Amino acid sequence: MKLEVKNLVKTFGGRRVLDGVRAVFETGNIYGLFGRNGVGKSTFFRCIDDRIPFEEGSIEVDGVDARDGSGLVALANDDNMFPSDMLVRDIVRSFASLRDIDEEPVLRDLDSWGVDARRKWEKLSTGGRTMLMNALAINSACPFILLDEPVLGLDALNRDALYTRLLEDFGDDRCLVISSHIIDEVASFASHVMFLQNGRVTLSMPSDEIADRAHMLSGSQEALSKVAGDWRLVSKGLRLGVPYMCVIGDVESIGDDVRDERVDLQRLFIEMTREEAK
């Protein structure tokens, strides 16, 4: 199955948070969606899950409007969805009835993660609420699962438990889209990475291509100007007084006086979003 976002526009207070976003998500893949705070990742997810309206564009699954109520998308985020005095077990029961699924797998996940189903929503820690929302989404039987900061409030042990559970449940009939600030953890198992900047997707690439196509080149300005190939400039500047440029693509004709370093995902993210930080 394929979920396509076409020319999505969403404005707040006259500002285009999403400015013609285009993206494709296919089952059988795990996507890491990255971007700086405030670029619209959560808004993007809420639009896909039909929690908020948008002004332009469309969201389709195999050519059909994804917001037709067919239960194709599940979103886990920090939205306060439940009455403060509602018990976790009642939340699970209500959700299971709504989605026509078995509540027992949800309760098993919560128990294994140390979330007490007898507690009220308002009494849960930040991590407990995160795990509850994750458990509901993972067990929803939806083919497209959106996880917005799914490790918020979780320690290293619980983060590892969540990632293990995600990979156990993942298959060719499912698609996971994960937005997280812990880039290196998601990068370790994501099959595809996407960057959201300035209201648009500026990078969409299989993870295994980054190691081959992202380069940090350093040397004299003259030497760098002679680097040939089909590449896209990401950033340039000085590192310890030495000129450098970060590029993505096929690099050719690198002279002996140019140093070519491979770039991991976190460094690539930093270089791509450097201007936004200014």
pTM of the model: 0.91
Q: Where are the domains of the chain?
A: 2-198, 209-277
Alpha helices in the chain (DSSP H): 41-48, 88-99, 104-112, 126-138, 156-169, 183-187, 207-213, 221-225, 265-272
Residue pLDDT, tens place only, 147-191: 999 999 999 999 999 999 999 888 999 999 999 999 989 988 999
What average pLDDT does the chain have?
92
Other CB atoms within 10 A of residue 22 CB:
13
Residue pLDDT, tens place only, 54-79: 999 999 999 888 877 677 999 999 98
In which element (H, E) is residue 248 found? strand 242-252
pLDDT of residue 275: 60
CATH code of 2-198, in short, is 3.40.50.300
Write out the DSSP string of 85-130: T-BHHHHHHHHHHHHT--SHHHHHHHHHTT--TTSBGGGS-HHHHH
pLDDT of residue 129: 95
pLDDT > 80? residue 201: yes
User: How large is the average pLDDT for residues 87-112?
Assistant: 93
Residue pLDDT, tens place only, 116-126: 999 999 999 99
